[in-house]
Amino acid sequence: MSTTFRRAIACTAAVVALAGAGTGVAQAEGSLGSAGSSGSVDLLPSGSAGMLPSSGSAALPSTTAITNAVLSTVGGCQTPVPELIRLCSETQTLISEPPLMLKLNPFGTHIVVLGAGLFPNGTIRPVLDSRLQAARALAVMFPTAPIIVSGGVPQSGRTEAQAMFDWLTASGIPAQRIIREGTSRSTVENAANTNRILADRGATGAVVVTSPDHLRRALIDFRNAVGGRIPVDGVISAG
């Protein structure tokens, strides 16, 4: 294991210990959001502290979400080094909880939904419906976050991206929030093609939504595609 990765794990462990030691997120929110008289470093942009859940809120992030946030940034996953990306991504615990980057920056963070193949008549399979349900929940929770639907492989003249766009708009998500990427035929292509969109739009981060058995591989592909330019985290659907 490299020295960089050991340091990343040590950093993650320190944050987790802080979160579980009783000081919790409420105190972390105060120390992260302001420099204070002690001269502590302001780690969040001005005004960001107000985006964090308030003390006592049911929306307080779990220790796992905090750990994933560290891994996705300073913890080793945001790097151009493929081996570090693989090691870091294998360390991450996959959860359905919204990543902290959406809470800290719900404007620049993009929700990315990956296609899962359509029925021959162009309708959505149950596995893709589950991904869309998870993506819609995030979209409702964070109404300023843009959404990218990624997937080609058309059936009856309809791409996965178009089917996902139709599903989301029918469920009440405004069409202007959704960007269609309808040429990808694999997860690697999802990552490469979506990365170009993220770069063109100046995205500050990406949250990949896909199935539990697909997310880890997708995170590795997306993190390799962005090459450390922005953090990438993920959310698992129900199935």
Q: pLDDT by residue (tens digit) across 158-207? A: 999 999 999 999 999 999 999 999 999 999 999 999 999 999 999 999 99
List, in order, residues 6 or more apart from 75 with CB less than 8 Å away: 8, 9, 11, 12, 67, 88
pLDDT of residue 75: 83
Contacts with 146 (C-beta within 8 Å, 6 or more apart), sequence order: 110, 111, 177, 178, 179, 201, 203
pLDDT at 66: 95
| Mean pLDDT of all residues in 145-152 | 98
Q: What is the pLDDT of residue 6?
A: 52
Mean pLDDT of the residues in the chain: 83
- Residues 107-145: pLDDT tens digits? 999 999 999 999 999 999 999 999 999 999 999 999 999
pLDDT, residue 14, reads 46
Q: What percent of the chain has pLDDT over 70?
A: 75
With 70 as the cut, is the pLDDT of residue 3 above it? no
- Report whether pLDDT(222) > 50: yes
User: pLDDT value at position 32?
Assistant: 34
Least confident of 7-11, 67-71, 156-160: 7-11
Region 12-35 average pLDDT? 40
Residue given tokens 């990315």 in the structure block: 112
Contact yes or no for 71/88 (Cβ under 8 A): yes
Average pLDDT over residues 31-43: 35
Looking at residue 158, the DSSP 8-state letter turns out to be B
| Complete domains list, the chain, with CATH | 3-91 (no CATH), 100-236 (3.40.50.620)
Enter the pTM of the model: 0.78
Is a pLDDT exceeding 70 seen at residue 40? no
Give the mean pLDDT of 45-55.
36
Task: Please state, for a pLDDT cut of 90, what percent of the chain lies above it.
Answer: 73
Q: Quick one: tokens of 175?
A: 């069409």
Report the pLDDT averaged over residues 150-155. 97
Residue 74 confidence class, pLDDT cut points 50, 70, 90:
confident
Assign 35 to helix, strand or coil.
coil
Identify which has the larger pLDDT, 235 or 59: 235
User: Model confidence over 51-63: pLDDT tens digits?
Assistant: 333 333 346 899 9
Q: How far is CA 204 from CA 105, 135, 155, 156, in A?
A: 8, 18, 33, 36
